[in-house]
Amino acid sequence: MAQVDHEIQIGAEDNNPVEDGAEVQSIASSRTSLSESLRDYHFENGRTYHRYKEGKYHFPNDEKENDRLDLQHHLALLTLGGKLGLAPPCDPEYKVQRALDIGTGTGIWAIQYADDHPETEVLGVDLSPTQPDFVAPNVKFEVDDIEDEWTYTKPFEYIHSRHMTSSLADWKANITPGGYLELQEAEMAFLSDDNTLPADSALVRFAELLRGAGAKFGRNFVVASELKELMIDVGFENVTLSKYKWPLGTWPKDPHFKELGMFNHENAMMAADGLAMAPLTRAYEWTRDEVEVFLVDVRKDLKNRAYHAYVPMYFLVGRKPATTEKKDSPAPAATPAAAPTSEETTTQSPAPAQSGSTA
């Protein structure tokens, strides 16, 4: 596993109640233009899924899921103190001509980046046309399979991807010299640092089943912490790996992490059905009723504040070498977002890399 350059620690609150009730009120052959056929979504077990390249992405694209994706975007902003990412192009004064958002979902990240950087042409791509029709003139969306051969006529200075690992070789080929790639990836795992989450819990089994289903589909969940070595292997430089933790519930002592846990609890409760239904029915041939019965126990675990569980969240930033840049002029490295000062929060210093997917 690669050396983590920055990691945040979380302390648990004393005397937690048993359950957590945290809630929030809640265009060519390879580039396809929008059409009515693309909006004719596939309906299965009460959820809708993308029609273009049907079956490639096993999670829904309906309104319920889109609401959750927007909530998850808020989680990322809260994690980074309001920043859209750790890469230098996310700094307000940094000028970018072209930026790409892979797996844009509802388009919320691309829209905000375009608002923050009006000089930038922002492109968001996804298998589903679930983005708004009326947006700023410097942002546009396309339905595309990012795993097909890339045919962009002009490269990008910044490529952003969240919760969707794909072909790093293509990413590198489509970034201008000196341009940045940022991956924001959650581990498909539920962990606890103090061993309060039992190994035989429904929550742990849930992650195991999802990883197994991914393997059956030939679409393994990438271990996010291993992506640093992969980025280095394909030629990126100044690669940094920052690890954050998204608590499941309001068990943390620190107010910042307690708020983060409140939103992530709602995120997980909303995600459970969408994460489980297609993978478990398609890979294991469970019935819809069997999935729903299993999720009863999963949701009980999510509400149990005695379980100090969290989801590991990784932010990786790498830079494509600038061919004309002198080697003695290093590029600015990504820095972790400021976290609240407390005895529970520590940040590791950068260290050399060592040899060794998603909600």
Domain with residue 189: its CATH number is: 3.40.50.150
Q: List pLDDT tens digits, range 158-196.
A: 999 998 754 445 666 667 778 999 999 999 999 999 999
Q: What backbone torsions phi and psi does residue 341 show, to the nearest 5 degrees?
A: -75, 120
Q: Is 324 a domain residue?
A: no
The closest of 162, 214, 192, 186 to 302, measured between CA atoms, is 192
Q: Is 291 a domain residue?
A: yes
Q: What is the pLDDT of residue 194?
A: 97
Count of domains observed in the chain: 1
Segment among 43-57, 65-79, 201-215, 223-237 with least mean pLDDT: 43-57
Q: Is 147 a domain residue?
A: yes
**243 strand-pairing partners:** 7, 314
Q: What is the pLDDT of residue 333?
A: 55
Buried b (16+ CB within 10 A) or exposed e, 135-155: beebbbbbbbbbeeebeeeeb
Q: Is 355 a domain residue?
A: no
Q: Is 343 a domain residue?
A: no
Segment among 204-213, 283-292, 328-337 with least mean pLDDT: 328-337
Q: Calculate what percentage of the chain has a pLDDT beyond 70.
A: 71
Mean of pLDDT values over 16-26: 50
Q: What is the pLDDT of residue 350?
A: 32
DSSP H/E element including 333 = none
CA 135 to chain centroid, in Å, comes to 23
Q: What is the pLDDT of residue 319?
A: 96
In DSSP notation, 230-272 reads HHHHTT-EEEEEEEEEEESSS-BSSHHHHHHHHHHHHHHHHHH
CA distances from 84 to 24, 41, 126, 164, 279 (A): 22, 30, 19, 16, 30
Q: Is 329 a domain residue?
A: no
Q: Is 130 a domain residue?
A: yes
Q: List pLDDT tens digits, range 69-104.
A: 889 999 999 999 999 999 999 999 999 999 999 988
Mean of pLDDT values over 231-237: 89
Separation of alpha carbons 201 and 338, rounded Å: 33
Tell me how many degrees the CA angle 202-203-205 measures, rounded to the nearest 5: 65
DSSP H/E element including 339 = none
Task: Determine the structural domain holding residue 295 and report its residue range.
Answer: 6-319
Mean pLDDT, the chain, whole residue set: 79
Q: Is 341 a domain residue?
A: no
**121 strand-pairing partners:** 98
Q: What backbone torsions phi and psi does residue 150 show, to the nearest 5 degrees?
A: -80, 135
Pairing of β 237-247 and β 6-7 = parallel
Q: List pLDDT tens digits, range 302-336.
A: 999 999 999 999 999 999 998 744 444 445 556 55
Under DSSP, the state recorded for 89 is G
pLDDT at 297 over 90: yes
pLDDT at 39 over 80: no
